Amino acid sequence: MLRFAPSPTSDMDISNLRVAILNYIVAKQKNEKFLVRIADTDKIKNIEGKDTEIMMILEKFAIGHDLVYHQSQHLNIHQQLALRLLKEKKSKNFDSSIIMNSDNTLTENFASACDDMLSEINFIICEETELINTEKQIYIKSSLGYTEPTEYIYIPTIENKITIKELFEQGFIPDAILNYLILLDNPKAPKEIFTLPEAIEWFDLNNISKESVKFDINKLRFINHEHIKMMDDKELSKLFGFADSDIGKLAKLYLGECATINELEGKIRYIFTPKDFDKEWGEQMRVIEKIIFNAPYFEEFDEFKKYIAKESGLKGDNLLKPLRVLLTGDEKSKPKLSEIYPLVKSYILEVAS
């Protein structure tokens, strides 16, 4: 069995998530069970609601589990094992500080060692910074008479790490973050853009870099961009408050200049926000708006444009630039109006106002 043992004392960061992902992948590859254990033994540092937040994040990344529990649920068992060990170990070379803190509470290392032993955890992937702790935990299990072997894999630390909450707030999607973190550890991956099920097929712990790795926001932006392109159009539109494939397609028109959900949302917001008629092209925009309000429905953009030109008498930039501002909210937007119109024609009275 493999496990992920997050502490509800701070926001989950990319290092924590990376450990969860790798343990989950290997559990799937080995056909082993995967346990989530909330390491909540430090009552002073625990933050209310963080345990729920951790589980919600794992769910967003499709990291399932066979069992989940709070470490504090096993407090009585930990205490019994601690008393037994303290009674049995009389030798001077036994360090009781690995069992008890100065305030007589049990150490996190002791609780973790006990739970790993009780759950028969036999494979653990953790950051190299955990080496000191795992040495203590191995010693504790050995002192308790546990002889079953546990294989430890240490992965290099991520420098300049960032929290998952911050990444979500910046508009990065779970599939992209997961892809980036797996690629970070598997530079020999058969392809650069992939899903979790695909990674489970080829991920190899032997290919993990031994050097510390730096978080690269630009690389993540590229991967995020590619995963947004792969998203179902209707599902993408839901992130902007719609349930319409055309709005998803509309957002993807802006992927030439955007790489995050936030950036795309800004473009969609411009399109549906009431336009400012007091700026440049305002006079022409008022004329076009009135014509659109009374115009028949047009399926094709060329028919729509010809009708506006005929009714307004506007030509060239005097027609196209105010029309672009009306339909996109931005005179300098890059997608062609002929691409935009088919996707907003159902909303034309709302958009062109």
Q: Domain for residue 231, yes or no?
A: no
Q: What burial class does residue 114 get, using C-beta atoms within 10 Å of its C-beta: 0-12 exposed, 13-18 middle, 19+ buried?
A: buried
pLDDT tens-digit series, residues 177-213: 999 999 987 778 899 999 999 999 999 998 888 888 8
Distance CA 292, CA 111 (A): 70
CATH number at residue 78: 3.40.50.620
Is 87 inside a domain boundary? yes
Are residues 146 and 283 located together in one domain of the fold?
Answer: no
Tell me what pLDDT residue 93 has: 62
Quick: pLDDT tens for 241-250.
999 999 999 9
β-strand pairing of 2-4 with 151-155: unpaired
Q: Is residue 179 part of a domain?
A: no
Per-residue DSSP letters for 129-153?
A: GGHHHHHHHHHHHHHTT-----EEE
- Whether residue 184 is contained in a domain is answered as no
Question: Does residue 151 sit in the same domain as residue 9?
Answer: yes
- CA gap 24, 64 in Å, rounded: 8
Other C-beta atoms lying within 10 Å of the C-beta of residue 86 = 13
Q: Report the DSSP beta bridge partners of residue 67.
A: 35
* pLDDT in the model for residue 92: 53
Q: Which two tokens stand for residue 110?
A: 């002791």
Residue with tokens 């993408």: 236
3 DSSP β-pair partners: 35
- Number of residues assigned to the chain: 353
Pair 12, 149 in one domain: yes
**Structural domain contains residue 77:** yes
What pLDDT does 94 receive?
66
The pLDDT value recorded for residue 188 is 82
For 3, the 3-state DSSP assignment is strand
Phi, psi angles (nearest 5°) of residue 163: -80, 155
Residue 281's SS3 state is: coil
Last residue of a domain, one of 159, 189, 207: 159
**Pair (137, 278) in one structural domain:** no
Q: How many other β-carbons are positioned within 10 Å of the β-carbon of residue 275?
A: 22
**Is residue 269 domain-resident?**
no
Same domain as 132, residue 7? yes
Boundaries of domain holding 314: 274-351
Q: Are residues 141 and 280 in the same domain?
A: no
> How many domains is the chain built from?
2
CA–CA separation, 96 vs 93, rounded Å? 9
Residue whose pair of structure tokens reads 């990344």 in the numeric block: 61
User: Does any domain span residue 199?
Assistant: no
171: left (phi over 0), alpha (psi -120 to 50) or beta: left
Q: Of 67, 78, 76, give the one whose Cα is nearest residue 35.
A: 67
Q: Taking the CA of residue 254 as centre, how many other CA atoms within 13 Å lie in the half-sphere pointing to its CB?
A: 24
Q: Spell out, as residue ranges, where the chain has pLDDT lower than 50.
A: 91
Question: Which residue bears the tokens 């036999």?
Answer: 122
Q: Tokens 């649920």 appear where?
A: 73
Cross-strand bridge partners of residue 2: 34
Q: Is residue 290 part of a domain?
A: yes
Beta bridge partners of residue 163, listed in sequence order: 13
Alpha helices per DSSP H over the chain: 14-30, 50-60, 75-88, 108-118, 131-143, 164-169, 174-185, 196-202, 217-230, 233-238, 245-252, 261-272, 282-294, 301-312, 317-328, 337-344, 348-351
Residue 156 per-residue DSSP state:
P
